[in-house]
Structure 1
Amino acid sequence: MAHEIINPAGLHDPVGFGYSHIATTAGELVFIAGQYASDGSGQVTSGDFAEQVERSLENLKIALAEVGLDFGHVVQLRTYIVGHDAAKLETIGKIIGRIWGGRPPTQTLLGVAALALPDMLFEVDAVAVRP
């Protein structure tokens, strides 16, 4: 893989929160626009937060596969959460941990008042690196 995930000893261990502090790269960057819990027509598929996170990440997986990449190529996530709270952070941490294990990509989490569609509760965009 053409990147390295680094969590400096002088900073807190962010892995349990679902992210890493630093990603260094030496390859070609790929930027994935915000993915949300949409079906093939762009409609939100569920009103449940955890289901929206799962579907959004599945859509990210589809986008990555389109350019010959997978979750292992992602070095940065930006997540946007309507009505952010500790329970939602825990949900995201568990799902990110299931996908990336002990080496999640860097992540910036933003609590927002609303997203593009009224039913959207979660959105994620990503930066990936081609090997």
Structure 2
Amino acid sequence: MPKIETINAPGLPIPAGHYCHATRAGNLVCVSGQLPVRPDGTHTGELPFEEQAEQTLSNLRAVLEAAGAKLEDCIEVTVYLVGIEHWKAFNEIYARHFGEWKPARAVVPVGALHYGYLVEISARAWVERG
């Protein structure tokens, strides 16, 4: 069994709950659900959906980078949206961040998230060790 590393991204707030930003076991990186919290720890629940989605994807990118990965290494992404009406806008923002790469993905409508957030994203990435 590979050693499991815990990872917290520098520049992002330490998680408030009993978890880390990500874990890495061998080549597999599992990223905890990322919310649109700003790097200084302030909340964005009052912002429009598009700004929350951008912040969440920026946080996902930062956590992946701290684990030695990038968006193009993602093999699976799970997105939780408050209000399925945000799906179209999210899909456009997501496509801009991921470019040509299309990992497996699920978009799950949910009733509510902490602090009035409208989006949360978790992911798994595969990174070849060099």
Matching residue of 1:122 = 119
Task: State the partner residue of 1:77.
Answer: 77
Are 1:30 and 1:129, in contact at CA under 8 Å, matched by a contact in 2?
Answer: yes
* 1:111 counterpart residue number: 109
Q: C-alpha distance in 1, partners of 2:33/2:58? A: 12
Give me the whole-angstrom Cα distance separating, in 1, the residues matched to 2:93 and 2:34: 15
Supply the RMSD in Å over aligned alpha carbons: 1.6
Q: When the two structures are superposed, what TM-score results if normalisation uses the length of structure 2?
A: 0.72
Consecutive unaligned residues of structure 1, counting only runs of 5 or more, are: 1-26
SS at match of 1:34: strand
- TM-score, structure 1 normalization: 0.71
List gaps (5 residues or longer) in structure 2. Answer: 1-25
Structure with higher RCO (Cα < 8 A, 6+ apart)? 1
Identity %: 29
Aligned length in residues: 102
Which letter does structure 1 place at the counterpart of 2:96?
Answer: R
- SS of 2:47's partner is coil
Partner in structure 2 of residue 39 of structure 1: 38
Measured against aligned partners, the alpha-carbon deviations of 1:45-89 in whole angstroms (never above 9, x if no partner) come to 25210111100000001001101111111111100011222xx11
CA deviation after TM superposition for structure 1 residue 34, in Å = 0.5
